[in-house]
Amino acid sequence: MKRVRLDGRSLTRAQLVAVAHGAQVELAEDQLPAVARAADFLAEQVRREEPIYGVSTGFGSNADRLLGGHHLRDELPGATRSAEGLHEELQRNLIVTHAVCVGEPFAPEVVRAMVCIRINTLMRGHSGIRVQTLQAMAAMLNAGIVPLVPQLGSVGASGDLAPLSHLAIVLLGGGEAFYQGERVAGAVALERAGLAPVTLSYKEGLALNNGTAQMLACGVLALARLEELLDTADLAAAMTIDAFAGRLGAFAPEVHALRPHPGQVAAAEHIRTLLAGSTLADIPYHLVPRFRPWLPTSWDTHEAQALRFDIGWDWVPLTQRHGREKFYQRFRPFRGGKKHQPQDSYSLRCTPQVHGAVRDAAAQAARVLEVELNALTDNPIVFPDAQAEHVEQQVISAGHFHGMPLALAMSYVKAAIPVLASISERRLNKLVDPATSDGLPGFLIGNEDATESGHMIVQYTAAAIVNDLASRAHPASVYSIPTSANAEDHVSMGANEARHVLAMVDDLGKVLALELYTAAQALDLRRDMINAARALAGRADAAALATKVAGGPAPDAADYPVFLAEVEALRAELAAADAFRPGHAIAAAHAAIRAEIAFLDRDRAMDGEVATAVRLVRDGVVLAAARTVERG
Spatial distance between the Cα atoms of 143 and 126, rounded to a whole number of angstroms: 27
Task: Please say if 346 is a catalytic residue.
Answer: no
What angle do helix axes 262-274 and 584-594 make, rounded to 10 degrees? 70
* H or E element that contains 5: strand 4-6
Cα–Cα distances (Å) from 91 to 35, 53, 84, 190, in that order, read 18, 12, 11, 20
* Amino acid type, 527: R
- Contacts of residue 50, Cβ cutoff 8 Å, sequence gap at least 6: 56, 391
Q: Which of 403, 420, 426, 462 is nearest to 226 (CA)?
A: 420
- Could you write out the DSSP letters of every residue in 372-387? HHTS--SSSEE-TT--
* DSSP code, position 559: T
**Bridge-based pairing state of the strands 25-27 and 102-105:** unpaired
- Report how far Cα 263 is from the mean position of its chain's Cα atoms: 16
Largest CA distance in the chain: 124
Q: Report residue 178: phi and psi, to 5°.
A: -100, 130
* DSSP code, position 465: H
3-state secondary structure of 486: coil
* Contact in structure between 244 and 430 (CB atoms under 8 Å): yes
Spatial distance between the Cα atoms of 43 and 412, rounded to a whole number of angstroms: 43
User: 53, 285, 412, 517: which one is catalytic?
Assistant: 53
Q: Which of 245, 242, 280, 288 is nearest to 574 (CA)?
A: 288
With a cut of 50, list the residues of the chain below it in pLDDT.
Answer: none
- Contacts of residue 323, Cβ cutoff 8 Å, sequence gap at least 6: none
Tens-digit pLDDT profile for residues 257-295:
999 999 999 999 999 999 999 999 999 999 999 999 999
* Contact in structure between 448 and 291 (CB atoms under 8 Å): no
What are the sequence ranges of the domains in the chain? 4-70+84-211, 223-364+408-474+491-630
User: 54: phi > 0 → left, psi -120 to 50 → alpha, else beta; which?
Assistant: left
3-state secondary structure of 454: coil
Q: Which of 545, 596, 550, 593 is nearest to 569 (CA)?
A: 545
- Which residues are registered as beta bridge partners of 488? 483
Q: What is the pTM of this model?
A: 0.94
* Contact in structure between 600 and 445 (CB atoms under 8 Å): yes
* Contact in structure between 626 and 519 (CB atoms under 8 Å): no
Spatial distance between the Cα atoms of 432 and 428, rounded to a whole number of angstroms: 7
Q: Which of 495, 548, 384, 400 is nearest to 40 (CA)?
A: 384
* H or E element that contains 531: helix 494-537
* Contact in structure between 121 and 216 (CB atoms under 8 Å): no
Q: Which of 130, 127, 116, 121 is nearest to 9 (CA)?
A: 121
3-state secondary structure labels for all residues of 63-94: CCCECCCCCHHHHCCCCCCCCCCHHHHHHHHH
- Contacts of residue 511, Cβ cutoff 8 Å, sequence gap at least 6: 421, 424, 425, 462, 465, 466, 469
Tens-digit pLDDT profile for residues 546-582:
999 975 567 888 889 999 999 999 999 999 999 999 9
Any idea how long the chain is?
A: 632
- Report how far Cα 118 is from the mean position of its chain's Cα atoms: 24
Long-range contacts of 535-541 (CB under 8 A, 24+ apart): 535/304, 536/304, 536/574, 537/570, 537/571, 537/572, 537/573, 537/574, 537/575, 538/574, 538/575, 540/571, 540/575, 541/571
What angle do helix axes 108-122 and 213-243 make, rounded to 10 degrees? 130
CATH architecture for residues 4-70+84-211: Orthogonal Bundle (1.10)
- Report how far Cα 402 is from the mean position of its chain's Cα atoms: 25
Cα–Cα distances (Å) from 267 to 152, 235, 342, 358, 533, in that order, read 36, 10, 21, 10, 33
Spatial distance between the Cα atoms of 268 and 265, rounded to a whole number of angstroms: 5
The end-to-end CA distance of the chain, in Å, is 27
Q: What is the CATH number of domain 223-364+408-474+491-630?
A: 1.20.200.10
**Bridge-based pairing state of the strands 310-312 and 290-292:** antiparallel
Other CB atoms closer than 10 Å to residue 629's CB: what's the count? Answer: 18
Buried b (16+ CB within 10 A) or exposed e, 564-598: eebbbebbeebbebeebbbbbbbbbbbebbeeebe
Spatial distance between the Cα atoms of 114 and 164, rounded to a whole number of angstroms: 8
Spatial distance between the Cα atoms of 212 and 159, rounded to a whole number of angstroms: 5
